[in-house]
């Protein structure tokens, strides 16, 4: 038995998210079908992060176990040959049998991309938000997120998790090539967490809430008090660290 780790990039536009669903197009479903086609083996590929419908990934990680004796470059080439063009295997590796893409992960890194000017090229990967924002206050409020904090206010209530503590190691807004980017790294993320943080920060930048409101949203640990969820198309799982 061999344990294969793959790094996957996908354009989430036309996927109903990562997770396999019998009647919808999912990244996991496409990958499992491709592995079956190349190796003849029915595998289960868990992802390090279960991205929602429309969310993209540049560095999703999955692993699966196969018997087949096939070279890694050959396997990667085969998978990319049968995968649809909105999902690509970027790298492949044979790893220890204990490696698990989700449970072995130590950190996930997400970026959220916004633009304030009209775009057509790459519009699938940005949230276009034309209204004026106080970007300085958005930048300075990021420090509130850092550390081991309870993110229940930023978690979809239907999520089933044992606790809401995440350790955020990096959180910052910056500008690059005319885009506004929010970068956040943490040991774990709750369902819808990044998009709700972005929506809440946009409320802050718009002046709908104050810095003190943001503080109290964090402390209330109640999803109903936070902001709206920013659109899926701006979000991208950039990297998973092991």
Structure tokens at 65: 């176990």
Partners of 92 in the beta sheet?
Answer: 6
Which helix (H) or strand (E) covers residue 182, if one does?
A: strand 179-186
Should residue 160 be labelled a site residue for a copy of itself when binding is judged by CB under 8 A? no
Q: Residue by residue, what is the 3-state secondary structure of 161-181?
A: CCCCEEEEEEEEEEEECCEEE
Q: Which stretch binds a copy of itself (CB under 8 A): 9-17, 148-156, 199-207, 220-228?
A: 9-17
The torsion angles phi and psi of 107, rounded to 5 degrees, stand at -155, 140
Residues 61-80 that bind a copy of itself (CB under 8 A): 80
Q: How big is the site for a copy of itself, counted in residues (CB under 8 A)?
A: 21
Whether 52 is a known active-site residue: answer yes
Catalytic residue among 52, 86, 134, 177: 52
Should residue 158 be labelled a site residue for a copy of itself when binding is judged by CB under 8 A? no
Q: Which is nearer to a copy of itself, 37 or 140 (CB)?
A: 37
**How far apart are the C-alpha atoms of 55 and 237, rounded to whole Å?**
8
Q: Which DSSP state fits 226?
A: S
Residues 111-150 that bind a copy of itself (CB under 8 A): 117-123, 125
Which among 141, 195, 126 is positioned nearest to 173, based on CA atoms? 141
Should residue 89 be labelled a site residue for a copy of itself when binding is judged by CB under 8 A? yes
Should residue 85 be labelled a site residue for a copy of itself when binding is judged by CB under 8 A? yes
Beta strand segments in 79-161, E? 87-95, 107-115, 127-128, 147-150
Q: Which is nearer to a copy of itself, 113 or 151 (CB)?
A: 113
Q: In angstroms, give the least distance from the CB of 194 to a copy of itself.
A: 17
The binding site for a copy of itself (CB under 8 A) comprises 9-11, 56, 58, 80, 85-90, 117-123, 125, 236
- Catalytic residue set: 52
């Amino acid at each position: 038995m061999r344990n294969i780790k793959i790094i996957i990039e996908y354009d989430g536009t036309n996927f109903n998210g990562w997770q396999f669903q019998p009647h919808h197009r999912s990244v996991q479903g496409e990958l499992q079908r491709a592995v079956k086609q190349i190796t003849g083996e029915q595998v289960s590929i868990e992802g390090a992060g279960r991205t929602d419908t429309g969310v993209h990934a540049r560095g999703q990680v999955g692993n699966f176990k196969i018997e087949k004796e096939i070279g890694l470059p050959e396997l990667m080439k085969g998978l990319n040959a049968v995968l649809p063009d909105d999902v690509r295997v970027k790298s492949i590796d044979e790893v220890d049998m204990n490696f698990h893409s989700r449970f072995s992960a130590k950190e996930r890194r997400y970026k959220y991309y916004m633009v304030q000017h009209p775009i057509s090229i790459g519009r699938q990967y940005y949230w276009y938000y034309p209204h004026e924002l106080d970007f300085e206050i958005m930048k300075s409020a990021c420090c509130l997120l850092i550390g081991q904090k309870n993110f229940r206010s930023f978690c979809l209530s239907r999520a089933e998790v044992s606790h809401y503590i995440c350790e955020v190691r990096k959180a910052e807004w910056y500008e690059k090539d005319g885009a506004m980017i929010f970068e956040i790294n943490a040991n774990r993320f709750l369902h819808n967490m990044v998009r709700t943080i972005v929506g809440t920060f946009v409320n802050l930048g718009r002046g709908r809430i104050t810095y003190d409101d943001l503080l109290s949203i964090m402390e209330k640990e109640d999803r109903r008090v936070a902001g709206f969820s920013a659109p899926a198309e701006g979000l991208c799982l950039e990297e998973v660290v092991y």
